[in-house]
Amino acid sequence: MPEGPSIVIFKEAVQQFKGKKIKMACGNARIDIGSFAGQKIQDIRSWGKQIFICLENITIRVHFLLFGSYSINEQTKPDKSRRLGLVFSNGSVYFYTCSVSVIEGDLDALYDWEADVLSDVWNAARARKKLKSMPETMVCDALLDQQVFSGVGNIIKNEVLYRIRLHPETMLGKIPPRKITELITEARNYSFDFLKWKKAFELKKHWLAHTKKICPRCNLPFIKKHCGKTHRRSFFCENCQVKYH
DNA sequence: TGCCATGTTAAACT
DNA sequence: GAGTTTAACATGGC
């Protein structure tokens, strides 16, 4: 569940608790859960792949990593993987196998909200500037850079590169400006498509490259390779996806 | 059964 | 110290 759009779906699902008081808090996350009960939820926000539950004085940050999951308004069994549970008068939310931490201070000062590809304040020009400053970075690594494209994960990476016909191992500095524009545009566009399809439970159906063996455009086999410094799986077509030199 | 993955951090290296 | 590699975390699908 961990890419940005999945977090947006979660955020929307828990807005019902905004303004509500925490009746009971539990879990085995190594934070001071004891102080949560009685506090009112000020806001619930997301930035990329993480969710923020803003209390009166501190903010709880949850990152689902690779295996995290949650349940909303469901009975849950006692569970070693239960990191945090918050119970309200109108329901509950439980977080499993995820990273939970407490943040003090102003969230706006800590994160570049304009870097979130799914945010209303997404700033394409700013992303372009960041990309320009890292010409020696492969585009497959750049897409996964949360400081540039917060919320983009490996699926979105592969699908965006396939859509714009760009080879994952292309160095940013070698990519023509128009192609950079496409890259930035599609990183956001595909994220919204991902969101739409995920909500309809039909995300996988729309994958053109990720985990695929044959290129739907030319029917040649995809290359599967762990690319770049991030060593994440890339699925690409050497025939259709250009590597600029 | 064993391997692998929509992710990140920190320790251990060179 | 910088940059890179490896380990750790821990669940579920194939």
CATH class assigned to A113-236? mainly alpha
Instruction: Determine the average pLDDT of the residues in A237-245.
Output: 94
Q: How many angstroms separate the CA of A7 from the C1' of B7?
A: 13
Q: How many angstroms separate the CA of A119 from the C1' of C10?
A: 30
Q: How many angstroms separate the CA of A38 from the C1' of C1?
A: 47
Where do the structural domains in chain A lie, given as residue ranges?
Answer: 4-110, 113-236
Q: Over 80: is that where the pLDDT of A75 sits?
A: no
Query: Which H or E run contains A131?
Result: helix A124-132
Same fold, A4-110 and A113-236: no
User: pLDDT over 70 for what percent of chain A?
Assistant: 98
Residue nearest to nucleotide C12 (CA to C1'): A67
* A223 bridge partner residues: A236
pLDDT, tens digit, 9 for 90 and up, residues A81-99: 789 999 999 999 999 999 9
Q: Over 60: is that where the pLDDT of A241 sits?
A: yes
pLDDT, tens digit, 9 for 90 and up, residues A145-194: 999 999 999 999 999 999 999 999 999 999 999 999 999 999 999 999 99
The residues, any chain, with a CB within 8 Å of residue A202's CB and separated by 6 or more, are none
What is the CATH topology of the domain spanning A4-110? N-terminal domain of MutM-like DNA repair proteins (3.20.190)
